[in-house]
Amino acid sequence: MSRVIVLVMDGVGAGAAVDADRYGDAGSDTLGNTARAVGGLRLPTLERLGLGCVLPLAGVAEVTRPEALVGRLAERSAGKDTTTGHWELMGLRTDQPFPTYPEGFPDDVMDAFAAATGRGWLCNRPASGTEVIDRYGAEHMRTGALIVYTSADSVFQIAAHEGVVPLEELYEDCRAARAILTGEHAVSRVIARPFVGEPGSFERTRNRKDFSVEPHGPTALDRLTEAGVPVEGVGKIKQIFAGRGVGGEHLMRDNHDGMEISTRLIGEVGHGLVFANLIDFDMLYGHRNDARGFADCLEEFDADLGPLMGAMRDGDLLVVTADHGNDPTTPSTDHSREWVPLIAWEPRRDPAGGRWVGEFGDVGQTALARLAPRADRDGLSGRPVAALA
């Protein structure tokens, strides 16, 4: 009986993808550019695992004999968002990109939303989450109208003050939006963005909640669940997959809390998948072009990785990867089309300098090979990493 632990460093890309120019992301390199911007990273655990062998990183040596199998994975789906990336990690490609709304959502969508919620709305344009509440927060508190905004990603975001719109009402408003946003308007996620405070000092809370569109086909999580293998989601994993194929949901306050939860689950799950999304890289630093904060977040993750690895036993597998890039050093504040790192480690097993260049779906295929080798893999993208299967 073994466990597979998959840690997704949300937004931690590893160099511009071969088709990055099609997405306006030529030159993006989240890890490399961040390291250069801060004068080098201090990542001793990731260094010995072999991160410096994945790509050149200031401050991180390219060790002669890494302790993990390392490499990079390419995204085959059309897009560069959280939903697309996570789905493909679990073997589900998205060939048609989710719709985006650079001019805001059309009148028929907004009219239906207003009728369903019984509230007016403000904004309905692409905007920064922190700037939009600064601009519209006072009017929202005065009128009760919901702040609706989007971004370069396929998202319908609803911001509301917790003292004006109770959380459960905000979540119900999101469910109403999710029911409206179907067909040609099937955005990847409807996101609740609650905040607190007074005008001039508003702060978003940790009560964010994502309402994703349901996967359009089977994923490795479905196959694991069908085979009776437990799947524990940490952070917003269950939300990303619209609840499908994920048994336990373990919400987290921040990356550090998510790592502690993942470490605890390793001690509690006798056999199964622990699948964590670590969102702080992307949400707090990538979208805000904060290279120093991004670097500090990487160093915190590195410090938390040692205790998690110490909780693992023979036969377990740790996979560290990402879902897209979010380079904090470029003018853009949006996701970037990048390779993602692959670091795969097993306790007391020598990887013999293994290297792997593959695609996102290899992660889910490898998890299936380890946890449910007889499971049906038809329709899933990728292939198991040979040295790990």
**Domain CATH code at residue 229:** 3.40.720.10
Considering the domain architecture, whether residues 63 and 127 belong to the same structural domain is answered as no
Whether residues 238 and 270 fall in one domain: yes
Q: Looking at residue 174, what is its pLDDT?
A: 98
pTM: 0.92
Q: Whole-angstrom Cα distance, residue 371 to residue 315?
A: 10
Whether residues 219 and 279 share a domain: the answer is yes
226 lies in the same domain as 343: yes
pLDDT band at 52 (very low <50, low <70, confident <90, very high): very high
Task: Work out the average pLDDT over 284-307.
Answer: 97
The tens digit of pLDDT for each residue in 217-271 reads 999 999 999 999 999 999 999 999 999 999 999 999 999 999 999 999 999 999 9
Mean pLDDT, rounded, of the chain: 96
User: Do 116 and 189 fall into the same domain?
Assistant: yes
Q: Are residues 223 and 332 in the same domain?
A: yes
At 350 the pLDDT is 77
Nearest to 274 by CA among 299, 253, 301, 247: 247
Domain count, the chain: 2
pLDDT at 353: 61
Whole-angstrom Cα distance, residue 49 to residue 299? 14
pLDDT at 382: 97
The Cα–Cα gap between 227 and 277 comes to 23
Quick: pLDDT tens for 143-163: 999 999 999 889 999 999 999
